[in-house]
């Protein structure tokens, strides 16, 4: 397994640059609205730029399968993240040949949120709950 194809901070800076620098796909916009209450692409970009992806954790970097120009390999980086006390999310993004970032996916994570398990373990260790 190798690391990310892109610098995460460069992606966040691209989001801060707004739609001139970053595009939110239609599918990502729909799930951002339904899963996170982010009703516009501008709201998604601001959310990312302002640190709304708490504790981002790199998952993988893989070849973009829906690339309209397969001769030009483009990688997609994906991350798990938290947002506030209850939301556990997933984001996938890439940098297009145009130089713009593309948020390909932005949705609730389909993996179980690891935080409750950490809290449960801490409470057990402290003797505040029974096993």
pLDDT for res 86:
79
Is the pLDDT confidence value at 14 over 90?
A: yes
Give residue limits of the domains in the chain: 8-125
pLDDT in tens, 25-58: 999 999 999 999 999 999 999 999 999 999 999 9
Question: Which whole number is the average pLDDT over 103-125?
Answer: 77
pLDDT for res 117:
64
Question: Which whole number is the average pLDDT over 13-25?
Answer: 97
DSSP 40-106: SHHHHHHHHHTT-SEEEEEEEEEE-TT-S-TTS--EEEEEEEEETTTEEEEEEEEE-TTS-EEEEEE
Question: Which whole number is the average pLDDT over 75-101?
Answer: 93
């Amino acid at each position: 397994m190798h690391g990310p194809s892109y610098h995460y901070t460069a992606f966040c800076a691209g989001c801060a640059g707004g739609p001139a620098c970053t595009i939110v796909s239609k599918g990502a916009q729909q799930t951002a609205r339904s899963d996170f209450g982010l009703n516009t692409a501008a709201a998604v970009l601001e959310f990312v730029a302002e640190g709304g992806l708490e504790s981002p954790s790199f998952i993988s970097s893989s070849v973009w399968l829906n690339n309209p120009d397969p001769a030009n390999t483009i990688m997609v980086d994906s991350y798990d993240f938290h947002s506030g006390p209850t939301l556990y999310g997933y984001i996938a993004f890439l940098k297009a040949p145009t130089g713009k970032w593309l948020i390909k996916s932005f949705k609730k994570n389909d993996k179980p949120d690891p935080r409750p398990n950490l809290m449960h373990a801490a409470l057990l260790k402290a003797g505040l709950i029974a096993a």
